[in-house]
Amino acid sequence: MTLTGHSLIAGQPVVGSGRTAFGFNPATNESLEPAYTLITEDQLTTATSAAAAAYPSFSALDPETHAGFLEAIAGNIEAIGDELIIRAGQETGLPAARLQGERARTTGQLRLFANVVRQGDFRGVRIDPALPERTPLPRADIRQRQIPLGPVAVFGASNFPLAFSTAGGDTASALAAGCPVVFKAHNAHPGTSELVGQAIVQAVKDAGLHPGVFSLIYGPGASIGQALVADPAIKAVGFTGSQNAGIALMRTAAARPEPIPVYAEMSSLNPVFVFDGALKGDVDALAQQYVTAVTGSSGQLCTSPGLLFAPEGELGDKLAAAVGRAVSACAGQTMLTEGIAGSWNAGAEALGSADGVTVVGQGTQGPTKNAPAPTIFGTGVKEFVANHVLHQEIFGAASLVIRYGSVQDLIAATNRLEGQLTASLQLTEEDFPTAAQLLPALEQKVGRIIVNGWPTGVEVGHAMVHGGPFPATSDTRTTSVGTLAINRFLRPVAYQNLPQELLPAALRDTNPWQLNRRIDGTVEAAADAKDKVNA
């Protein structure tokens, strides 16, 4: 596929009227061709207007056409082949195996949402049939369904050039909901974004859909990103990135004449709690698993464990020593950008110079300038509770081991935490009574609780929650991973006493889309719903 260096607006390459920008190879800091032209705010309205024009037809697609469209995107991405992996590797420094796995996750979640569309439960159909003989007052016929919010702005993430990017989870769930998408590419991997954007545009064309269903734009976040969120055609926002950028978008969305929801996944320390029983086994293996979770992908994962609570005393001493040995054998990996590597260095320096903080172990500098040495720091639980500096996320291969004396220490530390994506418990059966005391506090702070596992590696499925209280996410009620993510881009509408001829297909007595529906409060399978309504 040929890279144009231009935005793709309503199916057409559009030369930006602003300045130009390049992707960079973080291993060498060298620019990559082609140069990308950045659009202006005037050009942005072409994309948002096209999305608004596409909404009426796209939001009303029948399930089979809709699902086939999502599957076509997945197939087109796979058809790009090695070219996609090579370009993504050049722009991010991530190894091919990691990117191949990320591509599989991207196409897999598109196909998962295609299944969701075919099944149709996300439409939330509820029917309360009329009760004209009810006393003292009759009941009207009331039917409810979930409808798409409208055009959605999606922002690409720096650390996932595929799975949280052009056709990633936010885009996939918004398209599955029936919402057109205006996608702002992350400037760190413009070529990767364009390749995937071309695959989506081709799927739109092949399905005969309105070209405004998808647009890919390039531009500065401080201007084009803010203008995109402020545009009146946009009805919701999906974002994965830094806390500062996420909050800036939230403020813009809230200040609009019509405020809109921003679903932002921003920051997390993902604490790990190690109990005594877990340290009576293979401590070296446990330490290695922890260090692997900290250093994988150079620690540039929103689920990287930034905190580990280990007990005081001999067992905790053995774990700390094992962690020091494990991390000392690690070399730094090239980070996504020069700026991210610089931020890591500043964060690690601030943490290392804080009162009561020591170095548990440190690896070696990697082969490039942007590959800092992985470092594990250490402190006590009292210092952690008292010093907010120790609660700051360091995006990269760094973590803090905190020594505690009792479960009350853990509860106090948990209560001081901000909202998190995950918490992990390393334990055995003998630790169950102690862990049970901690769980109620964790439920108030995190979106996912893990036992004898690590937070990295987020399964894409029906039960997954990738979210949590602020600032892990901007809306603690939602998830950005898994099929429940579709709910972010829907809203309920009730239809009272509408004739069958005026009802949407999902609500008609004939149930032409064969949906499972809740009839008078009881969930009924598609085969039974028609009989119940006609009874």
Distance CA 264, CA 105 (A): 20
C-alpha atoms less than 13 angstroms from C-alpha of 55 in its C-beta half-sphere: 21
Outline where DSSP puts E strands in 337-441.
358-362, 375-380, 398-404, 420-426
The C-alpha angle 17, 18, 24, rounded to 5 degrees, equals 125
- Whether the Cβ atoms of residue 486 and residue 508 lie closer than 8 Å to each other: no
Is 252:229 a contact under the CB 8 Å cutoff?
A: yes
Q: Residue 59 corresponds to which tokens in the numbers above?
A: 């939001």
Contacts of 78 (CB under 8 A, 6+ apart): 103, 107
List Cα–Cα distances, 236 to 99, 169, 171, 196, 321, in angstroms: 29, 15, 12, 22, 48
Give 365's contacts (C-beta < 8 A, 6+ positions apart). Answer: 331, 332, 371, 372, 373
477 three-state secondary structure: coil
Two tokens at 427? Answer: 């334990």
Which of these is catalytic: 91, 265, 418, 524? 265
Catalytic (active site) residue 265:
yes
Contact 391, 418 (CB under 8 A): yes
Out of 102, 194, 302, 524, the active site residue is 302
Torsion angles phi and psi, residue 2, rounded to 5: -95, 130
Biggest CA pair distance of the chain: 80
Measure the CA–CA gap between 467 and 481, rounded to whole angstroms.
Answer: 8
Q: Please, which residues have CB within 8 angstroms of residue 238's CB and are 6 or more apart in sequence?
A: 152, 153, 154, 155, 170, 171, 173, 174, 263, 480, 488
Judged by DSSP in three states, 178 sits in: coil
Which DSSP category does 335 fall into? -
Nearest Cα residue to 280 out of 328, 329, 313, 308:
313
**Taking Cα atoms as reference points, which of 407, 416, 410, 419 lies closest to residue 389?**
416
φ, ψ at 28 (rounded to 5°): -125, -10
Structural tokens at position 336: 């996504």
CA distance 443 to 459: 20
Reference 218, options 57, 505, 7, 51; nearest CA is 7
Q: Does the annotation mark 302 as catalytic? A: yes
Report the distance separating Cα 445 and Cα 468, nearest Å. 7
3-state helix, strand, coil in the chain (%, to 5): 45, 20, 35
Backbone phi and psi for residue 380, each to the nearest 5 degrees, phi listed first? -100, 160
Tell me the catalytic residues.
265, 302
